[in-house]
Amino acid sequence: MKKLKLRRSPDYKIMVRHYASNLRKRFRVEVADVFLDDVKKAEAMLLANSGLGVKAPYVLMGRNIALKEWSFDSGPVPYCLVFDVDERYVNLITLWHGAGSRSSGNLVRIWDKPKSLR
């Protein structure tokens, strides 16, 4: 099996820095450092096991696509890493924390409608 490389999108980098900065301001530098270590571990896990994650429907720049999601915990908070795997790269697209609505500039997570609304 071919060794894949990791590729981080600008949005992914921004979100990692945003969460780390927020933890640094709200708590302590050590809490942000633990978060950054957990992100590195999650990245390494995905790189070693690119089959991890579950497919989820998204709209990216007006097109319906399926991306993969993989969740990991850092302290008491779950984070969701959104990524795609191609023949050369594990593409890290964005990072969200917690649960609920997931959307950013060009990317929106499509949620299934409850059966009662179908």
Reported pTM: 0.83
Note the helical H segments in the chain. Answer: 10-26, 29-48
How much is the pLDDT for 114?
45
Closest to 81 in 3D by CA, of 113, 114, 49: 49
Q: Which two tokens stand for residue 8?
A: 């981080």
Nearest to 47 by CA among 37, 55, 39: 39
Dihedral angle, C-alpha 38, 81, 89, 17, nearest 10 °: -60
Report in angstroms the alpha-carbon separations of 69 from 32, 58, 80: 23, 11, 6
Query: What is the per-residue pLDDT for 63?
Result: 83
**Architecture in CATH of 5-98:** 2-Layer Sandwich (3.30)
| pLDDT score at 100 | 54
Model pLDDT, residue 1:
53
Q: What is the mean pLDDT of each run of 10 residues along the chain (118 residues)?
A: 84 93 93 95 89 85 86 86 89 80 70 49
